[in-house]
Amino acid sequence: MKLRGAFLIGFFAAITCIVVGLVRTPHSEVLISSGISLSPQWQEIHLENKLQTKSVISELVVEMPDQQIRKIGNQLQLADGSPLQVEGYLTTEAGERFELDQVWAMVHGTKTFLRLSNARLECKKCDYRFGLAALRSNKPVQTGKVVWMSYDPRTSKDGVVVPHALE
């Protein structure tokens, strides 16, 4: 009887740990697009599932095809050597526009990504909900996946989190 009681207590403790772990995920991510053609015209993505700021840092991560793009310092270049610049913005449900004015390139393994953010999206108690994302570039280019991420960089050993959808 005592063994059965100990088993039940251990079982419920394990279930509780799993549930708490699922509720307190270190980051959240939403796949916005499996790919988008960028050009000098704004490409608006109307979002069925609102993007939310859920953690310390929130940003759009755009996968850039390796065969077309290379990273030189923090700048991107197309295969012909011309510079590539990508811009973006988010619009809240209330119509407030957030320019994604912090853009930097990152290489992870063999993949190149752009990370687009705004200083106002780097806060502990933000509660923004976005219904529209828009991107454009100075030259025509096809992207890979576009992912929204909200995360705490302290959850990774080097402070860099790559969305699971892009690994």
Q: What is the pLDDT of residues 9-41, one digit of tens each?
A: 554 445 544 443 444 444 678 899 999 999 999
- Judge whether 161 lies within some domain: no
Residue 165 domain flag? no
**What pLDDT is recorded for position 17?**
44
Q: Is residue 109 part of a domain?
A: yes
Q: Where does residue 64 rank: exposed (0-12), middle (13-18), buried (19+ CB within 10 A)? A: buried
DSSP H stretches of helix in the chain: 2-23
Domain region containing 32: 27-152
Residue 126 counted as domain residue: yes
* Sole residue written with tokens 């990273």: 71
Decide: helix, strand or coil at residue 140.
Answer: coil
69's tokens: 């793009």
One-letter identity of residue 156:
S
Contacts of 13 (CB under 8 A, 6+ apart): none
The first and second tokens of residue 34, run together, are 């499996």
CA distance 73 to 146: 22
Residue 148 lies in a domain: yes
Q: What is the pLDDT of residue 156?
A: 57
What CATH number should be reported for the domain holding residue 41?
Answer: 2.60.120
Quick check: is 131 in a domain? yes
Q: What is d(CA 13, CA 11) in angstroms, rounded to the nearest whole number?
A: 5
Confidence of residue 64 (pLDDT cuts 50, 70, 90): confident
pLDDT computed for residue 88 by the predictor: 96
Look up residue 129 and give its two tokens: 């909900």
Please name which of 29, 84, 62 lies closest in space to residue 135, comparing C-alpha atoms.
62
Band of the pLDDT at 161, cuts 50, 70, 90? low
For the chain, how many structural domains are there in total? Answer: 1
Instruction: Over range 43-55, report the average pLDDT.
Output: 87
Q: Residue 58 in contact with residue 100, Cβ under 8 Å?
A: no
Find out whether 106 and 100 touch, Cβ atoms under 8 Å.
no
Residue at 118 is within a domain: yes
pLDDT in tens, 77-125: 887 888 989 999 999 988 999 999 998 888 777 788 888 999 888 877 7
Q: Is residue 125 included in any domain, yes or no?
A: yes
| Helix, strand, coil in percent for the chain, rounding step 5 | 20, 45, 35
Predicted local confidence at residue 51, as pLDDT: 87
